[in-house]
Structure 1
Amino acid sequence: MTTASPIKLAIAPIAWTNDDMPELGKENSFEQCISEMALAGFSGTEIGNKYPKEPAILRPYLELRHLEVASAWFSAFLTTRPFEETAEAFIKHRDFLAAMGAKVIVVSEQGHSIQGQDLPVFTKKPIFTDEEWHRLTEGLEALGDLATEKEMDIVYHHHMGTGVQTTSEIDRLMAETNPEKVSLLYDTGHLVFSGEDPLAIYQTHHQRIKHIHFKDIREAIAKEVVTAEDSFLTGVRKGVFTVPGDGMINFKPICKAIDASGYEGWVVVEAEQDPALANPLEYAIKARRYIKDTWAI
C-alpha cells in the first residue's frame, strides 16, 4: 500500500480468535495473531478478546509490528436498557480507543439481537417497534455527542440477526439520525448474506460511510443456512463467511464506487470462520493479494 493512499488496510482478529465463540481459535495467541497480520501485509487491526486492555501495554506490541488500531466493536442496548448503562460502558470503550489513536467507534444495537442465540437468523430476527426506533436513534445521537468529545465518530454496524440488517432498516436509521452525529459502517458480507444489494447501499449512503468491512460469502453455505433455518453462529461455523476473493461477491464495482466517493479511512478484512478449517495466515495472505490485484491498494 502506498503512503499516498487515503485508504488504509486492516484485518480483524476474529479470523484467529472468535469473540462470540471463544473455543474457535483458543489455541491461537495474541502475539501470533498480530504477527501474522503484519506478515500478511496489513497496517491495522481491530481489537479482539485476547488483546491487552491497557493502552500502555498494548501499544508496544503493535508498534513493533507497525500496526495501528482501526476501531473496535461496542455493543449498545439502547432499546432494552436505561441509556445510562450504555453510556457508562461506551465512555470507557471510547477512552480506550482514543488512547490507541482510533478515530471511529463501531456501534451495534444488541437489544433483542439473536446473533448469539440458537435461533434461525432469518425468521427470528427482531423487528423494532416505533418506540424502540425512537430510543435507538435518540440514544445513538447521544453516543455521537460523547464521541465528539474525543474528536471521534460512531459508525453504526448493520448486522445479521439484529434490528438493523436490511436495506429498509438501514435507510430508516440514516433518515432518522443526524449525519453530524451518526455515521455508517459498511459491511459487504452482512449485506449480501441478508440478501441486500451492496453496491446500491454504498451508492445511496456513501456520504455517511466512515468505516468499511470487507468480507465475502460462500453462496452454497448461505443458501443452506436459509434452508436449514440455521442460527447466525451455526452459519459462521459452517463457513458462510470468507475473505474477499474466495466467495460470491464481485468487489471490483464496489472498489470503484469507494474510489469515486472519495472515501478516506480504514477498509478492514473481517471473515470470521473456524481457524482450524481456514488457516488465518493463509486466508489473510489470500485476501491481501486479492485486494492488491483487484484494487491496487
Structure 2
Amino acid sequence: MSAPIRLGCAINQWKPNFDDFTRPEQHERALKVIAACGFTGVELRAGTGRWDPLGRPASIAATYGSTAAFLDLVRRTGLEAVSSWYVDPGEPVDEELSRGRSVLDRAQHEEIAEALLPFAEFLAEAGGSRLVVRALPAAWTLDGRPGAALIAAAAAGWNTVGAAVAQTGVRLSLHVDCLSAAAEEKTLAELLVETDPALVGLTLDTAELTVAGLDPVRLFDSHHDRVDHLHLKDTRHVDEAGERLLPHAEAGMLSEGGARGIERWFYECGTSGGLVDFPALAERLRTRAWSGWAVFESEQTPNPARSAMLNGWYAQRLLPR
C-alpha cells in the first residue's frame, strides 16, 4: 500500500511586497492559518536580505536564534514539517554577493550545488523531502529555444546538485514556471531524458503549465514516473499572445498583466472559470497510487488567509487522505 498524499501550503502568498512579511508574529499567524485549514506542511521560498527572514536557512537561524527554535514554532502551530523549499539559483543573493548563477554554465555547477546544500540540510532537519528548483531560466533570456548543448549543460548541473542534496536524504525536483524555457513539451522531455531519474524529479505546477499553454494532466500522463512533487493552483488565463517570451516578462506580463491587463494570473483551486482539470488529475493520482507532498498555492492573492481556507476546503475534497 502506497504512502498517502500529504497536504502542504506555500507561504510565499503571504509576501506580496518585499517588506510585508518580516516579523515573527506575522509568521506565526500565517502558520496557524495554514494548520487550521487542514495542511500538515509548509513550503518556503528562497529569498535574500533583511526583508526576507524566511528566505534562507541562515536568515531563519538569525531571526529565531536557531533552526531548532523555528522548527519548534512550526510544530507548535500544528504542522508536521517544512515540506519543501523553492529556490531559483538564478536570483541574486545579497548574503553571497552573487548576482545569480546559471545552471547553463558548467563552470558554475559546483557553486550551485554548494549554495543549495544548506537548504537541503535544513529540510532534512525539518522533516521535508523536496528541494524544488527552477528547471531553466526565463525563455526571453535565451536566444531562441535552448539547443541540445544547453539542455545537456543544464542536465549535468542538476545531476551534480541532485547528487549533492541526496546525501541529506532530500530529493531535487525541477519546477517549470510559465516563463521558463522548459515550459515547452519537447524541451522538458529532453531535459528529463538527460537528467538522472535516481537524482532528479519533476514538480508539476498546474497553473504555471496551463498559462504557458500546456496541459498538466497530459504532462502527468507522459512523465508520471518523474513527478515527485505537486504545486496546485488554478488559472483563468492562457498566454495565447506569447507575451511570456517577451523581454522582462516577469514585470510586463506577470506583474502588470500584459496587453490584456490581467489582474491575476493565479487563483485558488476550484475557482469558477478555472482552466485546470483537477478532478482528472486527482483520478490519475489515485490510479497511479501517487504519494508525496501536494502543495497548494494562490499567488497574487489579495487575501492569503482566505485563499488558504478556500484551498484547504478544496484539498480535503479533491485529495481525501
Q: Do the two structures share a fold, i.e. TM-score over 0.5?
A: yes
Matches of 1:222 and 1:86, distance apart in 2 = 31
The reply to whether residue 89 of structure 1 matches residue 115 of structure 2 is yes
The one of 198, 201, 204 equivalent to 1:180 is: 198
After TM superposition, the score normalised by the length of structure 1 is 0.84
Matches of 1:178 and 1:256, distance apart in 2 = 28
User: Does structure 1 retain, via aligned residues, the 8 Å contact 2:204–2:231?
Assistant: yes
Corresponding residue for 1:118? none
The reply to whether residue 232 of structure 1 matches residue 245 of structure 2 is no
Matches of 1:233 and 1:158, distance apart in 2 = 18
The reply to whether residue 69 of structure 1 matches residue 66 of structure 2 is no
Corresponding residue for 2:97? none
For residues 16-55 of structure 1, what are the alpha-carbon distances to aligned partners after superposition, in whole Å with 9 as ceiling and x for unaligned? 114xx52566799212211111122211101144436232
Aligned length: 278
If asked which structure has higher relative contact order (CA below 8 Å, sep 6+), I would say 1
| Unmatched tracts of structure 2, length 5 or more | 46-51, 62-66, 90-101
For residues 169-189 of structure 1, what are the alpha-carbon distances to aligned partners after superposition, in whole Å with 9 as ceiling and x for unaligned? 211111111211211111101
After TM superposition, the score normalised by the length of structure 2 is 0.78
Q: CA deviation at 1:128?
A: 2.1
Name the % identity.
Answer: 23
The reply to whether residue 287 of structure 1 matches residue 287 of structure 2 is no
Matches of 1:99 and 1:296, distance apart in 2 = 27
Tell me how large the CA RMSD over aligned residues is.
2.7
Q: CA deviation at 1:141?
A: 0.8
Q: CA deviation at 1:57?
A: 2.3
Q: CA deviation at 1:129?
A: 3.3
The one of 14, 30, 33 equivalent to 1:33 is: 30
Tell me the amino acid that sits aligned with residue 232 of structure 1.
Answer: L
| Unmatched tracts of structure 1, length 5 or more | 115-123
After the TM superposition, which residues 1-297 of structure 1 pair with which residues of structure 2 at under 5 Å, given as runs?
Answer: 6-18=4-16, 21-22=17-18, 29-48=26-45, 49-51=52-54, 53-54=60-61, 55-67=67-79, 68-76=81-89, 77-80=102-105, 82-109=108-135, 111=137, 113=138, 124=140, 126=142, 127-219=145-237, 226=243, 230-235=252-257, 238-246=263-271, 247-274=274-301, 277=302, 279-297=303-321
